[in-house]
Homo-oligomer: A and B are copies of this chain.
Amino acid sequence: MDLTEKKISGEDIFDGVVLHVRKDTVELPDGNTSTREYIKHNGAVCVIPITDDGEVVLERQYRYAIGKVLTEIPAGKLEPGEDRLEAAKRELKEETGYVAGKMICIGEFYGSPALLEERVTMYLATELIKEERQLDEDEFLEVFTMPLDEAFERAMANEFDDAKTHLSILKAYIMLKK
């Protein structure tokens, strides 16, 4: 069965600084029509940095959309046309000050594929060297570290509620500890 939905017409609802909202009329697989409201997004990257001592570098950051402080790994949106690995290196340096000797891709995900075009690529960063961080003007975050073993136990106990952090900790632990 062809599950594809075909665009009939489209409408720009809102073009903001970070949000770009679209509403399309589509043809469903059975020939009927429906509407699809969704968010355009350039994509994002995240990095799980592991120090030579086996500590994960984490951040506490206030997230206005959900109204609370989340514990997360470093992450950020792609600049237009930016390479994903370069974006990951940039965000790691800006937010934590770390530069990685080694970075490998450990997967990708769509965080909310029914609504949001955003695709997030995950990197594991090791062989870390500490330099100065360079936060964006409106960015406020606290950096701290936690042993990877403890982070894994906390992830299994559901103590991380950010998708990229939850997932990257599990994958990094399975890859590095087995």
Q: Give the interface of A toward B (CB within 8 A).
A: 1, 3-5, 13-14, 16-19, 21, 23-24, 26, 28-30, 32, 34-39, 41, 60-66, 69-70, 72, 105-120, 138, 140-142, 156, 158, 161-163, 166-167, 170-171, 174-175
Contact = CB atoms under 8 A, between A and B. Distances in A.
Given A5-B62, A17-B35, A63-B114, 11 more contacts: A13-B16, A16-B23, A32-B138, A41-B115, A65-B113, A106-B158, A111-B111, A111-B116, A112-B163, A156-B175, A167-B170
Contact of A161 (B13, B109, B117, B163): B109
Contacts of A18: 37, 114-115
A52 B159 CA distance: 29
Nearest to A19: B37
A36 B61 contact: no
B113 A112 contact: no
Contacts of A116: 39, 65, 111-112, 115-116
B28 A140 contact: yes
A44 to B, nearest CB: 8
A36 B14 contact: no
Contacts of A35: 17
